[in-house]
Amino acid sequence: MPQSLSNVLVHLVFSTKNRTAWLTPALREEVFAYLVGILKDIGCHPIQVGGHDDHVHLVFAMVRTRSFAQVVEEVKTGSSRWMKTKGVPGFAWQVGYAVFSVSPGEVSSVVEYVRNQADHHKTVSFMDEFRALMKEAEIEMDERYVWD
């Protein structure tokens, strides 16, 4: 086959360092837009970006020339630098992340889930949300390392 083709859809989740609520409502939409720009710049097709005070969800099509780790590093590094220019000098993302595959038939439900983060987090903490995501994905985690 003379072409290299892919359609790898992912849902990436990561939090602010120590889950500090740096993503205030006043700043949140700008942060999300900046994250979309980074994804586009590195060749990933953004589908939906959202989150809440202390974490983000990114749904996108992976570029086939980079690894998940490379994409995450570029997204976190670029947005962290940008946050500091917005007057949040101590801003940092937590070291880890979770990435989930999304089948094409499930994209609309994942997008809706990410869009509804504000309502979702009126009753569910990020930690409880993350535990549920891990359970649904059948990923075992050691909480000693997730919440540090």
Which residues sit opposite 98 in a β-bridge?
Answer: 13
pLDDT at 144: 65
Tens of pLDDT, residue by residue, the chain (148 residues): 578 888 899 999 999 999 899 999 999 999 999 999 999 999 999 999 999 999 999 999 999 999 999 999 999 999 999 999 998 889 999 998 999 999 999 999 999 989 988 877 788 777 777 787 777 877 787 666 555 4
Q: pTM, whole model, 2 decimals?
A: 0.88
SS3 13: strand
Domain 9-141 fold: Alpha-Beta Plaits (3.30.70)
Residue spans per domain, the chain: 9-141
- The beta-carbon contacts of 65-74 under 8 Å, at least 24 apart in sequence, are 66/42, 68/10, 68/12, 68/99, 71/12, 71/39, 71/42, 71/44, 72/12, 72/14, 72/97, 72/99, 74/38, 74/42
Cα–Cα distances in angstroms (integers) from residue 109 to residues 59, 69, 103, 116, in the given order? 11, 25, 10, 11
User: How many Cβ atoms sit within 10 Å of the Cβ of residue 90?
Assistant: 9
